[in-house]
Amino acid sequence: MMNLSFVWVFSSLMMVFCGLWSFAKSHKHMLNSLLSLEFMMLGVFSLMVLEVVSVGSEMYFVLFFLTLVACEGALGLSLLVFVVRSHGSDYLSVFNVLEC
């Protein structure tokens, strides 16, 4: 029978790798890229929780990481709204490197 912590680690690593694969393969829309980044951060967060629980130390660092991930998500969504308002869509192909 499989140990529960092994299943948790395996599922967390699969979340990170699936988010990385999704980020690399589906980079047509900005929203897809942001969602795959959030999925990767969720996998990293669950790995950190497992490590902190197994060591038995304080949860302050995990809560700090969760706060940073939430701020990153809010910043990404605000950038998405700005891009949609200024360019009309969230396609990454509409950005021109020469435009400022």
What the block records as the tokens of 31 is 């929203």
Burial 63-73 (b: 16+ CB within 10 A, else e): eeebeebeeee
Report the amino acid identity of residue 51: E
**For residue 1, what pLDDT is reported?**
47
**For residue 68, what pLDDT is reported?**
92
Tens digits of residue pLDDT in 14-70: 999 999 999 999 778 888 999 999 999 999 999 988 888 878 777 888 889 999 999
Q: Is residue 12's pLDDT more than 60?
A: yes
**For residue 50, what pLDDT is reported?**
86
**For residue 89, what pLDDT is reported?**
84
Tens digits of residue pLDDT in 62-95: 889 999 999 999 999 999 999 889 888 888 877 7
Best CA proximity match to 51, nearest among 41, 64, 61: 61
Containing 63, the helix (H) or strand (E) segment is helix 60-87
- Going from N- to C-terminal start, the domains of the chain cover 4-94
Give me the architecture of the 4-94 domain, per CATH. Orthogonal Bundle (1.10)
Instruction: Reduce the DSSP state of residue 26 to 3 states and report it.
Output: coil
